[in-house]
Amino acid sequence: MWWLLVLLVTCLFYYSRNRLKYFSSRGVCTLPPVPLLGNLTAVTFGRENFVEAIAAGYDAFKDQRYFGLYQYLVPTLIPRDPELIRQIMVRDFNSFADRGVHIDADCDPLFGRNLIMLTGSKWRSMRASLSPAFSGARCRSMAPLMAESACAVIAYLREKISGEEAMDINKITMSYVNDVIASCAFGFAVDSLKDPDNCIFRLGKKAVVQDTNQVMKFFGYENMKSIMKFLQVKIIPTQDAEQFSQLFKSALKARRENLVKPRPDFIQILVDAAQEFTDDDLVAQAVLFYVAGYDTTANLIYYFLYEMAINPRVQEKLHEELDGLPPDEDIEDLYEAVQGLEYLDMCVNEVLRLWPLVGSADRRSVATYDFGPTYPGSKDRLMAPAGIHVWLPIYSIHRDETYWPKPHDCIPERFSKDRKADIVPYTYMPFGNGPRHCIGSRFAVLAAKVFLVKFLRSYKTRADRASPHLSPRAFILRPRDGYLLYVTPR
């Protein structure tokens, strides 16, 4: 039987060699790929974050409008030119209407129904139904719910901290975000610092954290979908998905039968949209809300506090703005008060530039597309059939000195009213852009701001290290060495 194994490996090797000539045969620059692994060898073996694999090509081909990488055997185009990015995300959206990896409900009954995975008319209908949940008016009404969760964190800290304390910030940010999403998406009031074993937090920690295993599942569906389907690999394990489903359906039932007083939250939007979709469709959107918001919003808060810790001048200026707010009990409209903090908004935008919630966005073409010359004046150009995968290099373009002087420095003034107009379009896109941009961006930023206002009015942060390295075993930009910061009462 050994000869069968040799034959199989040989066939795979030559098959991969042919697949890995896609870009070179078309005059598109690419880093040398490894058979079967493409350009993800270091990512696969946990030596670098996948945004660093993108950055290697981005930095190597500075004279190119776009270049290629191979996510294993899948040719993936990386646009460097902001105008080309605009074409892909906005102007020619109809040619790039789908996300990169598609997992349908036949493969994963829960995850395959969420807004990111939906395509065509089903996506448009669901997007239109969910958009009101994240309007300014809805976010205004949910701000007090966020404040309740933030106040619970501050009360916990007051019991624990009397002087400067080294603290795992991830513990409090994850708890806060869990409580906010539990309240606004599932309609449950929980306090995860006092009760870390509550059912939603327990499920979230098991099923949702976006680590290497989750990344590899997505790569698996992109490279060998039929095998993943045959093996019944789920993005969220079946048992956890069933628990999420039961939990949310019970909340839906209680709201429909008026067993719970109506609240201005996400679940009410889903109840109102129920006539168009099945309960399984609605559960998928609630789980997506959790998956998309859990790690990412907590990370935004951490990186914000980290940047304040290593930039004391910025932190001091922000403290001065926050000190100008009236006492909590005298703030009649929390949403308006938070939105009126101009320097806080500048700081949040700058942190999102340095540490976007995800390092890249993905798209897939649904029609043949001409990407134009590889560089201005080049005779080589890529005319790709439908199905070409595109990674938008958000992390890399956010730190490109061509567009951002001193790109690694935290300079909130980049986003002042006077200087915003100087930002080159499509070089700042922490939530993507175009019709497929992150639907929950307003909610995520507001949740972070409410927490930061409450926290920084009472505490300041300090850090020993100058710059965190990225964890290679994470889908999002998680710090490799943990979330330790020094916290001191003001």
Three-state secondary structure readout of 416-464: CCCCHHHCCCCCCCECECHHHCCCCHHHHHHHHHHHHHHHHCCEEEECC
How much is the pLDDT for 320?
Answer: 97
CA distance linking residue 273 with residue 278, whole number of Å: 10
> 178: closest CA among 210, 200, 158?
200
Residue 199, annotated ligand binder? no
Q: pLDDT tens digits, residue range 49-99?
A: 889 999 999 999 999 999 999 998 889 999 999 999 999 999 999 999 988
* Predicted pLDDT at 232: 82
Query: In the predicted model, is pLDDT for residue 323 greater than 90?
Result: yes
Q: How confident is the model at residue 418 (pLDDT cuts 50, 70, 90)?
A: very high
| Mean pLDDT, rounded, for 188-202 | 83
Helix 441-456 to helix 169-185 angle (10° resolution) is 130
Q: Please give the C-alpha separations between residue 356 and each of 202, 346, 417, 430, in angstroms, as whole numbers.
A: 26, 14, 21, 5
Give the pLDDT confidence score for residue 217 in this predicted structure: 77
221-249: average pLDDT: 78
- Residue 11, pLDDT score: 52
In this prediction, residue 242 carries a pLDDT of 82
The sign of the CA dihedral 24, 30, 33, 39 is negative
Task: Report the alpha-carbon distance of residue 6 to residue 472 in Å, rounded.
Answer: 32
Length of the chain: 490
How far apart are the C-alpha atoms of 300 and 170, rounded to whole Å? Answer: 11
Within 324-388, where are the H helices?
334-339, 342-354
Query: How confident is the model at residue 243, as a pLDDT?
Result: 81
Which comes out higher in pLDDT, residue 213 or 480?
480
Q: Which pLDDT does position 408 carry in this prediction?
A: 95
* pLDDT tens digits, one per residue of 346-404: 999 999 999 998 889 999 999 999 999 999 999 999 999 999 999 999 999 999 999 99
Tokens representing 421 are 């107009």
Tell me the C-alpha distance between 448 and 443, whole Å: 9
In whole angstroms, give the CA distance from residue 425 to residue 421: 9
Q: What is the pLDDT of residues 476-485, one digit of tens each?
A: 788 888 899 9
Question: 3-class secondary structure for 233-278?
Answer: CCCCCHHHHHHHHHHHHHHHHHHHCCCCCCCCCHHHHHHHCCCCCC
Task: Give the pLDDT band (50/70/90) at residue 4.
Answer: very low
Write down all domains in the chain, each with its CATH number in brackets.
92-357+430-489 (1.10.630.10)
Average pLDDT on 410-427 reads 95
Residues in contact with 7: Cβ distance below 8 Å, sequence separation at least 6, in sequence order: none
Tens of pLDDT, residue by residue over 110-136, are 888 888 888 888 889 888 888 887 888
Proportion of the chain in helix, strand, coil states, percent, rounded to 5: 55, 10, 35
CA-CA distance, 296 to 477, in Å (whole number)? Answer: 9
Among 331, 320, 351, 316, smallest CA distance to 445 is for 351
Element counts in the chain: helices (H) and strands (E): 18, 9
Mean pLDDT of the region 153-178: 92
Query: Which amino acid, residue 416?
Result: S
Mean pLDDT of 243-260: 79
Taking 90 as the threshold, does the pLDDT of residue 277 lie above it?
Answer: no
pLDDT reading at 300 higher than 60: yes
The predicted model scores a pTM of 0.91
Distance CA 471, CA 209 (A): 13
What pLDDT, on a 0 to 100 scale, did the predictor assign at position 208? 60
- Other Cβ atoms less than 10 A from the Cβ of 215: the count is 19
Percent of the chain with pLDDT over 70: 92
Whether the predicted pLDDT of 6 surpasses 60: no
Name the least confident of 147-161, 182-196, 352-366, 371-385.
182-196
